[in-house]
Amino acid sequence: MKKFLSTAYTETSFNLAALLLRLTFGLLICIDHGFAKMMHFSNQQSIFFDPFHIGHRWSLVLVIFAEIFCALLLVLGLFTRVAALVLVISMSVAAFLFHRGQSIEQHEQALLYLTAFFSILLVGPGRISVDGMMGK
């Protein structure tokens, strides 16, 4: 019980927590969002949200890049902080521009992803990652 209430942590538990965070949120966004957008690319390319006025198609391409490529880099723990930064930007746009003026229920999922990716950006990949094994 004493250990359970302690604020101390081991390096192993930190690295396992970082791995769990990367795997869970990286795979969830890739499978639930990235692949779905890629599969419906032709339907969405003319109507996708375009906050920066670069075109609906290019906005969709950038989000697919973030949600598939960067999410898979995050899962592997390769270029973790760069991938997390791209995902933080993508989720910030979703939470604060796309869902602007909507209820908290509409913001909730984007805010959860944003929080997880921002946490990964701050703490890094941990030792159980490609970056960690390369000594970065």
Q: Which two tokens stand for residue 16?
A: 């396992």
Angle (nearest 5°) at CA 135 between 127 and 126: 20
Kindly tell me if the per-residue pLDDT of 8 is higher than 90: no
Q: Flag whether pLDDT at 4 surpasses 80.
A: no
Range with lowest mean pLDDT among 2-11, 34-43, 92-101: 2-11
Predicted confidence (pLDDT) at residue 2 exceeds the cutoff of 90: no
97 three-class SS: helix
Average pLDDT over residues 66-75: 97
* Average of per-residue pLDDT across 57-65: 95
pTM as predicted: 0.91
Q: For residue range 9-57, what is the model confidence (pLDDT) as tens digits? A: 888 999 999 999 999 999 999 999 999 999 999 999 889 999 999 999 9
Residue 104 has pLDDT above 90, yes or no: no
Q: Where are the domains of the chain?
A: 17-129
pLDDT value of residue 1: 67
Residue with tokens 């869970």: 24
